[in-house]
Chain A
Amino acid sequence: MQRLLSARRLLLLLLLAAPGLCGAREYLQVFVTSPYLELHTGPGRGYPVFNVVERDGSVDVLAHYTEWFKVRTERDVVGWVSERDMLHTALADGSAFTFERGDRAGFSSHHFETGMFAGAYGGATLISAYSSFSFNSQLALEVSVGQFLGNASNGVVGDIGLAHVFLPEWRWSPFVTLGTGVVHTEPKATLVQPLNRTEQTAYVGGGVRYYLTRRFFLRAEYRNHIVFTKLNSNEEVEEWKLGFAFFY
């Protein structure tokens, strides 16, 4: 009887150690802490619920697409779970399963931003896009490129600089920017000086961000560029732009 007991104990120990011995899992396993977890047929709020996983059951997280997680249950059923429902799951060590969501907290503190603008650059129409990397909630390194299309000239601009955000936790958060760049101008052929030129610039500016919803925000910005021309005096160019951006 004693021997039988110790054999059982050994088997139990082996079973417990098995996941560790087999190496790391390929997918993250999370355990359901709410009464049940609903699986939808597709990654959207309209897709019907076709399966549920009960409390303490587990699912493997296969992929993340926008606000949805693709999961596989212990019974090999694959479905989609919303981010909101996934908040009620826990990791194997009992800690809550957390992930970055598109919300106000994410707006205040995030790593990357990307956006696009329409605006004016020295009187010409501007199409512009930017990406930024945030060192912390206030300071970010920004790179922007744009193309301006005017009656007198067309051209491209590229800037790199720093942006400092005041009150990042506010829905309206103002910021200032400072940086340098280049501008390539192609005067229209009908003008007297049809020489293309590339010049260095420096800019100072400011603007405001407005949090819309999820990962979206609006961004309005003004920049004053000093173009270091080969002429006697430097040129000043004003840039106004308004656009959408998102953080991730």
Chain B
Amino acid sequence: METGIRVLLLSALVALSGCASIHHLFHRHDAQPASDAATTDKDADAQPPRVIDPQIERRKIKVPKIKSQNVELGLQFGSLSIENFGTNPVYGVTAAYHISEDFFFQGAYGRSTAGRTSFETLSNIQLITPSERHFTYYDLSLGYNFLPGEVFLGSKVAMTSAFYLLAGIGSTDFAGDSKFTVNFGGGYRVLPTDRIALHIGVEDHVFQSDLLGVDKLTNNLEATIGASVFF
């Protein structure tokens, strides 16, 4: 009896599931949109009404500006040997722009006052007036850094350093005339901090002069020490 009821229930279950699967097979495509629509309706009903429309914007990151330190302004002081006019103090200013780790452009301006030639001392005749004795030069040069390195003070302090070569063109005002001048030289630079540099340099300013009767190239050697700041 019990077995009979079980068989009956089981066959009923199989028949029902078969009907369901057949129904599913035939009506799947028709039923789909309807069920979808029903779901969206339900979702819309489920969501609470919007009171405030959230407008969240992505936070803009303010990028801090990176300080560049390619411009170098400096002061220099030293001695200038003006050919035939003795050695005299010279002071000047420099401005440089560092283009790469190897090259830099430099503009320099310097002033000195010439002394007396040996002829003037012996004969007591003035070749040029006192105002013409002012020796003023400017030049535009290209510099090349070589042998970069570090200087160590004890075990805690290390300072970067480099030798450099300079060559350029400019003009020299001396003895009442302006002369086209070629300058070349070299120097050594050491940086106690990343912003401050100390320099030792030697440079030759060469120009044509006929001041003493003969037209010739004059060499005017300059040795300076200086300090500069990077901006």
Contacts and interface: CB of A to CB of B under 8 A. Distances in A.
A63 B179 CA distance: 41
Interface string B46-73: 0000000000000101111111111000
A64 B150 contact: no
A88 interface: no
Interface string A13-49: 0000000100011111000000000000111111100
Interface string B164-195: 00001111000011111000000000000010
Contact of A44 (B101, B105, B171): B101
A102 B178 CA distance: 37
A24 B64 contact: yes
Interface stretch (B27-35, B92-100, B111-119): B92-100
B87 interface: no
B64 A65 contact: no
A188 B137 CA distance: 19
Contacts of B61: 91-93
Given A26-B64, A28-B66, A66 B148 contact: no
A116 B105 contact: yes
A199 B147 CA distance: 49
B99 A246 contact: yes
Which of A28, A127, A215, A246 has most chain B Cβ within 10 Å?
A127
Interface in A190-234: 214-216
Contact of A43 (B64, B101, B169, B171): B101
Nearest to B63: A28
Contact of A24 (B62, B66, B170): B62
A69 interface: yes
Contacts of B70: 64-66, 248
B142 interface: yes
Interface residues of B, number: 38
Contacts of A45: 101
A189 B99 CA distance: 42
Given A127-B170, A149-B178, A149-B179, A214 B99 contact: yes
Given A66-B70, A66-B101, A20 B59 contact: yes
A89 interface: no
B136 interface: no
B77 interface: no
Interface string A62-99: 11111111100000000000000000000111000001
A244 B180 CA distance: 18
A216 B179 contact: no
A41 B99 CA distance: 20
Nearest to A215: B99
B158 interface: yes
A93 B59 CA distance: 9
Interface string A153-167: 010000000000000
A68 B179 CA distance: 40
B171 A64 contact: no
A147 interface: yes
B230 interface: yes
Contacts of B64: 24-28
A176 interface: no
B103 interface: yes
A149 B158 contact: no
A41 B150 contact: yes
B140 interface: yes
Complex A-B, nearest 8 residue pairs according to Cβ-Cβ distance, in ascending order: A42-B160, A116-B140, A64-B68, A149-B180, A125-B180, A44-B148, A65-B69, A28-B64
Interface of B: 59, 61-70, 97-101, 103, 105, 107, 140, 142, 148-150, 158, 160, 162, 168-171, 176-180, 194, 230
Interface of A: 20, 24-28, 41-47, 61-70, 91-93, 99, 102, 114, 116, 118, 125, 127, 129, 147, 149, 154, 188-189, 214-216, 244, 246, 248
7 contacts: A42-B150, A45-B101, A61-B66, A63-B67, A129-B140, A216-B100, A244-B142
